[in-house]
C-alpha cells in the first residue's frame, strides 16, 4: 500500500446499519458482510452497530473468546477486510462488560474495548471498562474505538485523539428519542478532535437507525435513514492530517492549542473529582414520578 515510501491515505469503510433483534444475529452479519464485498469489493473495513450479535440482554453474556470470534475471524479473513462487528456482553469472572472486538484481514483479534460509560441507570449490571483502544491499520493510519453512550462524554473522544486516533469508530444501539442529540454529538466529536467519526446505529426492534458519518471538518458525509442500510465511503486520512496541521477550514488548530496549553484541569484529577455543585444532583437512578411538593 506504499507509493514511493508515502503512506496511502485513502481507506474505504462500510457502516452496516442492520435491523436486529434479541436473537443470534451472527449469520445475518456474515451474510451482509459477504454481500458488501461482492457489491463493493474496494471496501477495506466493515463496522456494525452495538450489541448486534446477540442483542441487548445481559443473559446472553459469554466469556471471550467465544463462538462468535471464530465466525468473525473467518469472515474477516475470507473477505480480506478489517471487521468491527459491534459489541457483545462479555462475562469475565463475576462481572459483565459491553465489549467490542476488532479483527484484521488475517482473522486475528487486534484489540478489545470495554465500554467505559454503560448507559446508567438503564444498562443495569454492566461494569465500566477502564482502558482505551487504538489500533493501527498498517501504512494507513490509527483508529480508535468507543461505544454508544461513550460519545456523550467528550473526554473519551479527546483521549483517543490524544493517543493519535485519526478515525473514531462508535458502534451504537439507540432506539430512544435522543437520537437527534447524538447526531449533533457525532459532529461535535469530529470537529473538536479533527477526525472522522463513524457513529453506526442498529435498526429494527432495538434501534432507530440514522447512523452518521462525519469528516474532520464537521461535514456530514452520510446520514442514514431508519431502516437497514449499507454505507460504503472512502475516507482520506490526509484530510485529517491537513486539518490538524492547518486548522479546520484554515482556522481553528484545536489539537495544537490543547497540546500547548499549560492549564491543569482539576475535573480530570480523580483525587479532586468531588464537586459540591455536582453532588447536589443526587443519586444516579431512574427518575421517579413528580410529587406535589417538588418545584
Cell of 255: 489539537
Q: What is the pLDDT of residues 217-263, one digit of tens each?
A: 999 999 999 999 999 999 999 999 999 999 999 999 999 999 999 99
CA distance 239 to 29: 31
Cell of 108: 486475528
CA distance 171 to 88: 11
Q: Enumerate residues 6+ apart whose C-beta is below 8 A from 274.
A: none
Identify the residue whose cell numbers are 451504537.
Answer: 172
pLDDT recorded at residue 294:
54
CA distance 186 to 270: 27
pLDDT recorded at residue 22:
87
| β-bridge mates for residue 109, sequence order | 103
pLDDT recorded at residue 7:
61
pLDDT recorded at residue 9:
85
Superfamily grouping for domain 10-279: Carbon-nitrogen hydrolase (3.60.110.10)
Burial class (CB in 10 A: 0-12, 13-18, 19+), 190: buried
CA distance 59 to 295: 40
Q: With contact defined as beta carbons under 8 Å apart, do 73 and 83 qualify?
A: no
CA atoms within 13 A on the CB side of 133: 21
Instruction: Kindly report the length of the chain.
Output: 295
pLDDT recorded at residue 16:
98
Question: What would the 3-class secondary structure string for 7-64 be?
Answer: CCCEEEEEEEECEECCCCCHHHHHHHHHHHHHHCCCCCEEEECCCCCCCCCHHHCECC
Percent of the chain with pLDDT over 70: 96
pTM: 0.94
pLDDT recorded at residue 1:
38
pLDDT recorded at residue 293:
59
Domain residue spans in the chain? 10-279
Q: What is the pLDDT of residues 256-270, one digit of tens each?
A: 999 999 999 888 888
Phi, psi of 96 (to 5 degrees): -125, 130
Identify the segments of the chain with pLDDT beneath 50: 1-5, 295
Identify the residue whose cell numbers are 469472515.
Answer: 75
Beta strands in 146-290 (DSSP E): 167-171, 196-200, 203-204, 212-214, 220-223, 229-236
Q: Enumerate residues 6+ apart whose C-beta is below 8 A from 89.
A: 51, 54, 57, 58, 60, 61, 62, 96, 97, 98, 99, 126
pLDDT recorded at residue 290:
75
Amino acid at each position: 500500500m506504499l507509493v514511493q515510501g508515502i503512506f496511502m491515505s485513502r481507506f474505504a469503510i462500510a457502516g452496516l446499519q442492520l435491523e436486529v433483534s434479541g436473537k443470534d444475529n451472527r449469520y445475518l452479519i456474515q451474510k451482509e458482510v459477504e454481500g458488501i464485498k461482492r457489491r463493493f469489493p474496494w471496501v477495506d473495513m466493515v463496522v456494525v452497530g452495538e450489541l448486534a450479535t446477540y442483542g441487548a440482554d445481559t443473559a446472553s453474556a459469554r466469556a471471550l473468546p467465544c463462538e462468535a470470534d471464530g465466525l468473525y475471524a473467518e469472515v474477516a479473513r475470507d473477505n480480506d477486510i478489517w471487521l468491527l462487528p459491534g459489541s457483545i456482553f462479555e462475562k469475565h469472572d463475576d462481572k459483565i462488560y459491553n465489549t467490542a472486538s476488532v479483527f484484521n484481514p488475517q482473522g486475528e483479534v487486534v484489540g478489545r474495548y470495554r465500554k467505559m460509560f454503560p448507559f446508567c441507570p438503564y444498562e443495569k449490571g454492566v461494569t465500566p471498562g477502564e482502558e482505551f483502544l487504538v489500533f493501527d491499520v498498517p501504512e494507513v493510519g490509527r483508529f480508535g474505538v468507543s461505544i454508544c453512550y461513550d460519545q456523550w462524554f467528550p473526554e473519551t473522544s479527546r483521549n483517543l485523539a490524544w493517543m493519535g486516533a485519526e478515525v473514531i469508530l462508535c458502534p451504537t444501539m439507540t432506539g430512544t428519542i435522543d437520537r437527534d442529540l447524538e447526531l449533533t454529538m457525532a459532529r461535535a466529536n469530529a470537529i473538536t478532535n479533527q477526525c472522522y467519526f463513524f457513529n453506526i446505529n442498529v435498526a429494527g426492534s432495538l434501534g432507530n437507525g440514522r447512523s452518521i458519518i462525519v469528516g474532520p471538518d464537521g461535514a456530514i458525509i452520510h446520514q442514514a435513514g431508519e431502516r437497514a442500510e449499507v454505507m460504503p465511503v472512502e475516507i482520506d486520512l490526509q484530510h485529517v492530517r491537513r486539518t490538524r496541521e492547518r486548522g479546520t477550514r484554515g482556522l481553528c488548530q484545536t489539537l495544537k492549542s490543547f497540546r500547548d496549553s499549560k492549564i491543569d484541569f482539576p475535573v480530570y484529577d480523580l483525587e479532586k473529582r468531588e464537586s459540591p455543585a455536582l453532588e447536589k444532583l443526587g443519586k444516579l437512578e431512574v427518575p421517579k414520578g413528580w410529587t406535589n411538593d417538588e418545584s
